Structure 1
Amino acid sequence: MFPEETEEQGPAETAIAFSNEFIDAGVVKLDALFGAGYARANPQMLAAYMAACASNLNSFMLAATSIDGGAYEEELVTFEEEIELEPRNKKGKRR
């Protein structure tokens, strides 16, 4: 899920890839919680979600630098699972 930084892709491109992931996740989560189209109709809410994601990622990365060995990889997998794009509860259409 996380973008890989390659020789062709530097830090700026990686940051853009993270932003794209956060936008996609935010739209899915907000629409799942508040109904289809909510994220598009409320860009300020999507921006707040993205700010929270960026803050969370920054805190995670700072903390991860102090973790030894394979524990970093395990923590990264756990973090990835927390921000999956799929909504937790799919609701059916109302009749």
Structure 2
Amino acid sequence: MTGPYEQPFSAVQPFPPARTPTLPSSNAGWAVVAIIFFWPLAIPAFNHALKVHPLWMMGDVQGAQHSSNRAGFFGKLSLILFGAFIVLYLAFIGLVVSTM
């Protein structure tokens, strides 16, 4: 018989296996995209991409993940800005040609 605070042996659940975090991607490819399409954003993109591994080695898992995310963000933002500039350029050319 079990007491009010005791559980039967079959109800005891083992702890789930510990998950070790993995090194996040540095997103250096997105930093290269930033150089090609909108170079001013390449500076913070490379800054964050190059901080991922040192932060990871110091044990700052959240900092490494944040730097990885920011590097990708700046690369994607540069691509979006490039696309917006192309669309505005084409609209301007279309406006100038239509008025001639």
TM-score between both structures, scaled by the size of structure 1: 0.34
TM-score by length of 2: 0.33
